[in-house]
Amino acid sequence: MPEQTPTEIFDLGNFQLSTGFTLPNAKLSYKTHGRLNATKDNAILFPHFLGGAPEALEIFIGEDRPLDPRKYFIILPGLFGNGVSSSPSNTAPPFDRGAFPQTNIADDVIAQQRLVTEKFGIDELYLVLGWSVGALQTYEWAVRFPHMVKRAASIAGAPKPSPWTRLWLHAVIEEPLTSDPAWNNGFYTDPLAVQGGLRRQGHGMALTLPPDGFYREGEEVWRSIGFASVEDFVSRFWEAFMLPQDPNNLITQARKTRAADPSAGGDIAVALRQIKAKMFVVAFTGDKMFPPEECKLDAERIPNAQYREVSSIGGHLTTFALTEQDRQAMDDVLQQVLTA
Amino acid sequence: MPEQTPTEIFDLGNFQLSTGFTLPNAKLSYKTHGRLNATKDNAILFPHFLGGAPEALEIFIGEDRPLDPRKYFIILPGLFGNGVSSSPSNTAPPFDRGAFPQTNIADDVIAQQRLVTEKFGIDELYLVLGWSVGALQTYEWAVRFPHMVKRAASIAGAPKPSPWTRLWLHAVIEEPLTSDPAWNNGFYTDPLAVQGGLRRQGHGMALTLPPDGFYREGEEVWRSIGFASVEDFVSRFWEAFMLPQDPNNLITQARKTRAADPSAGGDIAVALRQIKAKMFVVAFTGDKMFPPEECKLDAERIPNAQYREVSSIGGHLTTFALTEQDRQAMDDVLQQVLTA
């Protein structure tokens, strides 16, 4: 069995954020699978999504899986605000809880680049890939460090959130928490004091993330992924995903997602032309958050990018391989990316 | 200028609700345009939508409009819970505010039938039509009183809300209010004490009701209907729609919508076969709440129903005729209905 580390911490020291604050004793959490080879050219970086954790998509890692740790050294870094990396929930005053400074996706990627170079001495990554907010980090990597990214795969993502996605982050992630009677500007007594808000986030996600027709009578796709009713799906999938999370941590992740922009306020078309990676832009049929037609336009703005559309019943959730068909479709597209 | 009444009140007396309560001194608000002719065969009933009022869709009424008051006697009835008909906001204890009993769409239609027969002596309506929750009432009319409805038009509606629409009513209409710190089980000090919840409803509507692509960069449909930015559209269209409303009244309307079922728990296919009206099922392209593919299936279950799809940039909002093209498309379909 190849080496697999538990979650580890990379010390960033006093870390200068792009938002003008210095985060004292900043920490980047990460986990690895496999071994870095002698030529250091087998490293894959796989950042996680909003509300996720480094190990959130380990379903793609394993000896019989696309990301094979016998072949690749897979680094799973953790976002600032994920509760293990520096976050509102684990940072000392004055930056504790509701006073944690805004971090940007660019800050995450800069911290990840330090991990990759300082800790592991890697000059070039075989692949950077990510789903959703992981894809936003992938774009930031490909634009910011073009000579370090040999291959890149944005899976159901974009360089920047769309106007609809920005509305979504506000209405579905931020407002259910910030309007909760227990919120107290982020200085709640306990994360579960805000459980009403966390559950309402789950309800908003259940409403907006599955593709059209998912709930339709006669289709009822939730049945095929193991749920007994709509209410069962809302509770055991969505509420269960949100309830263990810390509200401030989620807000931190939502705000950095809203602000994501690899051009840093410049011309995104110019920024995307900097990309040197062999880039795959992967979209999911029926994805409301990153619709295929928008992903296709992104791909057209990147030199030599390839566009792939994965047809699925899961829409934005296809990544979770909730059906055997989705798992196969995801595996196939990852194989294409890895062998490009 | 033909006669046009201000909003009037029809006294229903002590009104037995389908939910097992008796509403004392129940009131049905309504407004009329035009005159009932001697043979009493020119009456059109046009119930309103969730959050609406009898006059909400008067854009279709006028001498140069499809519903011409020189020709038709147009009755615009108001839902229980609309703030003028018996509602949480205007009913005496013990049924005041948060203690108002649940009313069903069937109750509204029974009250409207009493208005039509007792007040006006009408045996058969030339047309019953409605948009969204107005369409739910139209279905209830056509099933419950099949011999009284000569023509019917469901505009972007359904006999019952879909599972997705039921989730929507809960997550977008009910929860932002019932979770508001000022909610107090519906015994808030003032409707505007709950303005945070009302605004969040508006945000949820802005997120979920416009069709795909409405906000997309390069499309930005909100521009074509007179808004300067997404934020301007969210504030001046959605928040402005919600803020004048009473929270308990909205909850009453949302709950009756969730429970709507012309078969009253029976077989909806059997119920729809009772319809005698010349029925038009009108769907709007891109409508997420009542998708054309679902409306088409409804039409197929109704004897001799005709299905029409109106192509528009507005999705569910097409009814508001926000563009000249939408106004023309709506007028055309209403002309087909009126002359059927």
Tell me, what's the ipTM? 0.95
Please report residues of A whose CB lies closer than 8 A to that of B175: 200, 203
Give me the mean pLDDT over the A160-172 stretch.
98
* Chain B residues near any Cβ of chain A (below 8 Å): 162-164, 166-168, 170-172, 175-176, 179-181, 196-197, 200, 203-204, 206-208, 212-217, 220, 230, 234, 288, 291, 293-294
Decide if pLDDT at B293 tops 90.
yes
- Is the CA virtual torsion B257, B259, B265, B268 positive or negative? positive
Provide the pLDDT for residue B107. 98
Q: For residue B1, name the pLDDT band (cuts at 50, 70, 90).
A: very low
**Shortest Cα distance, chain A CAs vs residue B125, angstroms:** 32
Please, where are the H alpha helices in chain B?
A: 105-114, 133-144, 163-168, 175-178, 195-208, 221-224, 230-233, 240-242, 247-259, 268-273, 292-300, 324-338
A205 to chain B: nearest residue by CA? B171
Q: Output the six-digit token pair for A255.
A: 């705000």
pTM of the entire structure? 0.95
| Residue A86 designated active-site | no
Decide if pLDDT at B2 tops 90.
no
DSSP per residue over A66-113, as a string? SB-TTT-EEEEE--TTSSSSS-TTT--TTSSGGGPPP--HHHHHHHHH
Provide the pLDDT for residue B18. 96
Please report residues of A whose CB lies closer than 8 A to that of B203: 167, 170-171, 175
The backbone torsions φ and ψ at residue B130, rounded to the nearest 5 degrees and listed phi first, read: -170, 155
Q: Which residues pair with A306 in a beta bridge?
A: A280
Q: Output the six-digit token pair for B279.
A: 């029925």
The CB-based long-range contact list for A212-219 (8 Å cut-off, 24+ gap) reads: A212/A286, A212/A288, A212/B288, A212/B291, A213/A286, A213/B291, A213/B293, A214/A313, A214/A315, A214/B164, A215/B162, A215/B163, A215/B164, A215/B167, A216/B162, A216/B163, A216/B164, A216/B294, A217/B162, A217/B163
Q: Output the six-digit token pair for B333.
A: 């379909």
Please report residues of A whose CB lies closer than 8 A to that of B163: 215-217, 220, 230
Maximal C-alpha separation, chain B: 56
- Rg over alpha carbons for chain A, rounded to the nearest Å, is 19
Q: Which of A163, A170, A175 sits opposite B217 (nearest CB)?
A: A163
Q: For chains A and B, count residue pairs whose Cβ atoms are closer than 8 Å.
A: 86
Please report residues of B whose CB lies closer than 8 A to that of A176: 179
Distance CA A332, CA A205 (A): 27
| Residue A29 designated active-site | no
- Is the CA virtual torsion A3, A8, A11, A17 positive or negative? positive
**Shortest Cα distance, chain B CAs vs residue A275, angstroms:** 22
Provide the pLDDT for residue B152. 98
- Is the CA virtual torsion B95, B99, B104, B109 positive or negative? positive
Please report residues of A whose CB lies closer than 8 A to that of B166: 230
Residues B171, A207: C-beta atoms closer than 8 Å: yes
Decide if pLDDT at B97 tops 90.
yes
Distance CA A39, CA A249 (A): 37
Helix or strand or coil: residue A220?
A: coil
Give me the mean pLDDT over the B21-28 stretch.
97
Provide the pLDDT for residue B328. 94
Q: How far is CA A277 from CA A152, A283, A305, in A?
A: 6, 18, 8
Give me the mean pLDDT over the B258-273 stretch.
97
Decide if pLDDT at B5 tops 80.
no
Please report residues of B whose CB lies closer than 8 A to that of A234: 167
List CB contacts of B199: < 8 A, sequence separation 6 or more: B239, B242, B243
Decide if pLDDT at A312 tops 90.
no
| Residue A287 designated active-site | yes
Q: Where are the beta strands (DSSP E) in chain A?
A: 8-16, 22-33, 43-45, 73-77, 127-131, 151-155, 278-284, 306-310
Residues A230, B167: C-beta atoms closer than 8 Å: yes
Q: What is the pLDDT of residues B62-90, one digit of tens each?
A: 999 999 999 999 999 999 999 999 999 99
For the beta carbon of residue B267, count every other beta carbon within 10 angstroms. 9
Decide if pLDDT at A6 tops 90.
no
Q: What is the pLDDT of residues A23-71, one digit of tens each?
A: 999 999 999 999 999 999 999 999 999 999 999 999 999 999 999 999 9
What rounded mean pLDDT belongs to chain B? 96
Q: What is the pLDDT of residues B119-154, one digit of tens each?
A: 999 999 999 999 999 999 999 999 999 999 999 999
Q: Are B82 and B47 in contact (CB under 8 A)?
A: no
Decide if pLDDT at A2 tops 60.
no
Decide if pLDDT at A218 tops 80.
yes
Burial status of residue A45 (CB atoms within 10 A of its CB: 0-12, 13-18, 19 or more): buried
**A193, A197, A200, A202: CA torsion to nearest 10:** -80
Residues B179, A197: C-beta atoms closer than 8 Å: yes
Q: Which residues pair with B93 in a beta bridge?
A: none
Q: How far is CA A51 from the centre of its chain?
A: 8
Provide the pLDDT for residue A1. 44
* Chain A residues near any Cβ of chain B (below 8 Å): 162-164, 166-168, 170-172, 175-176, 179-181, 196-197, 200, 203-204, 206-208, 212-217, 220, 230, 234, 288, 291, 293-294
Residues A288, B203: C-beta atoms closer than 8 Å: no
Provide the pLDDT for residue B40. 98
Residues B207, A206: C-beta atoms closer than 8 Å: no
Q: Output the six-digit token pair for B305.
A: 């129903």
Distance CA B228, CA B232 (A): 6
Give me the mean pLDDT over the A180-201 stretch.
97
Please report residues of B whose CB lies closer than 8 A to that of A216: 162-164, 294
Give the pairing of strands A8-16 and A43-45: unpaired
Q: Which of B196, B207, B215 sits opposite A171 (nearest CB)?
A: B207
Residues A204, B171: C-beta atoms closer than 8 Å: yes
Place of tokens 């009933």: B45
